[in-house]
């Protein structure tokens, strides 16, 4: 069980994992909060955290839910509320992330039967994603659905979402190698996507007011080394509130726990362990005694807001604790040292020369 010295004990991490399991629905779905929406990205993150935190049965039920609810085209509805589809759109980032969860499960459990059972689900999900890659290399952020099924593709790419997809493709290729089912089209898509994330971030939708667009190219693994350090430094003063964590949106005086923990893992991924622990400690003011976490805190008003404890915040805490402490065999999944290798960098329509990573 992970523990971060001077910040969280292993018992406290276990309590946080248990708080996620306590909010799981009978179907296996893990909503944001009880009675709220479930999306497959945050659901998978919760499953990963529950597995790290010893809630194995709950994690297995969460993954079984993924297999049951996937649609024929490989996507999942963007929003499900207690079994009812509220937004049928297929979001690419969400549909890709199962690959990370299944690879994480393999690293922790070494359960080949589980991998074999989930591999067709992962493959359909990533095939859906790479099937709507845009010419410049980014991934279209979603595909709408109507009464007859998949409809118009929203042909714009989100930087944070595409950065997460880059990690998912690396996990998918690692799984493909494990099951001996090569997926060269994923590697080609990963090469084009990596090039766009490193050299053409201006071609993605401008969401620069959100902290996720700041650190996600690092968290997803596409940007590393000196470029990653420079990118994190660039937004530091805009988003970091000393002693409290980081803002979700640059112009709002509101710090959020999940984004802070993702920055923690981004810092750790580039070897900035000291500042990673500092930010992990800073966000603990959001913790309740029973292990749950408030979503965020409005600091001028000294109030927690929204008035909710979210599974995705708790999950980010557990995964960050594992990354920082190097406790489980899966603790390197955000650093990328347990994923498949980086892809050959390929530039097609941008006019750049072909490069290697």
The answer to whether the CB of 219 falls within 8 A of the CB of 211 is no
pLDDT of residue 309: 98
pLDDT of residue 357: 42
Q: Does domain 10-325 have CATH number 3.90.700.10?
A: no
pLDDT of residue 10: 98
142/129 Cα distance (integer angstroms): 9
The residue to which tokens 């939708």 are assigned? 205
pLDDT of residue 288: 98
**Chain centroid to CA 48:** 10
Write a three-state SS string for 52-74. Answer: HCCCHHHHHHHHHHHHHHCCCCC
pLDDT of residue 148: 78
64/42 Cα distance (integer angstroms): 15
Is the bond into 306 cis (omega within 30 degrees of 0)? yes
Gyration radius of the chain's alpha carbons: 19
Question: How confident is the prediction along the chain (357 residues), in pLDDT tens digits per residue?
Answer: 999 999 999 999 999 999 999 999 999 999 999 999 999 999 999 999 999 999 999 999 999 999 999 999 999 999 999 999 999 999 999 999 999 999 999 999 999 999 999 999 999 999 999 999 999 999 999 999 887 788 889 999 999 999 999 999 999 999 999 999 999 999 999 999 999 999 999 999 999 999 999 999 999 999 999 999 999 999 999 999 999 999 999 999 999 999 999 999 999 999 999 999 999 999 999 999 999 999 999 999 999 999 999 999 999 999 999 999 999 999 999 998 888 888 988 766 677 764 544
pLDDT of residue 341: 80
pLDDT of residue 356: 44
pLDDT of residue 346: 77
CB atoms within 10 A of CB 323: 28
pLDDT of residue 192: 96
Report the interhelical angle of 56-69 vs 40-52 (nearest 10°).
160
pLDDT of residue 347: 67
């Amino acid at each position: 069980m992970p523990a971060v010295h001077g910040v969280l004990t292993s018992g406290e991490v276990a309590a946080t994992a248990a708080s996620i399991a306590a909010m799981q629905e009978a179907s296996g779905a893990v909503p944001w909060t009880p009675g709220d929406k479930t999306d497959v990205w945050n659901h998978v993150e919760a499953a990963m955290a529950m597995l790290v935190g010893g809630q194995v049965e709950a994690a297995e039920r969460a993954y079984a839910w993924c297999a049951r609810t996937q649609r024929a085209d490989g996507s999942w509805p963007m929003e499900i509320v207690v079994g009812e589809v509220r937004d049928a759109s297929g979001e690419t980032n969400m549909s890709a992330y199962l690959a990370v969860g299944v690879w994480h499960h393999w690293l922790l459990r070494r359960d080949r039967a589980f991998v074999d059972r989930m591999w067709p689900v992962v493959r359909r999900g990533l095939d859906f994603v790479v099937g709507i890659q845009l010419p410049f290399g980014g991934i279209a952020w979603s595909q709408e659905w109507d009464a007859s099924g998949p409809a118009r593709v929203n042909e714009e790419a989100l930087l944070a979402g595409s950065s997460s997809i880059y990690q998912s493709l690396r996990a998918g290729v690692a799984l493909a190698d494990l099951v001996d089912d090569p997926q060269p089209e994923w590697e080609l898509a990963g090469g084009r996507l990596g090039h766009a994330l490193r050299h053409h971030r201006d071609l993605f939708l401008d969401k620069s007011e959100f902290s996720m667009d700041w650190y996600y190219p690092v968290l997803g693994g596409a940007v590393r080394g000196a470029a990653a350090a420079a990118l994190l430094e660039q937004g530091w003063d805009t988003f970091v509130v000393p002693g409290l964590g980081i803002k979700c949106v640059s112009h709002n005086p509101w710090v959020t726990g999940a984004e802070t923990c993702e920055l923690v893992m981004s810092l750790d991924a580039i070897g900035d362990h000291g500042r990673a622990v500092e930010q992990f400690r800073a966000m603990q003011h959001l913790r309740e005694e029973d292990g749950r976490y408030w979503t965020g805190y409005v600091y001028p008003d000294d109030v927690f807001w929204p008035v909710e404890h979210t599974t995705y915040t708790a999950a980010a805490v557990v995964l960050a604790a594992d990354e920082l402490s190097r406790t489980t065999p899966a603790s390197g999944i955000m650093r990328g040292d347990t994923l498949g290798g980086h892809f050959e960098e390929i530039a097609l329509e941008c006019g750049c020369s072909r490069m290697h990573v």
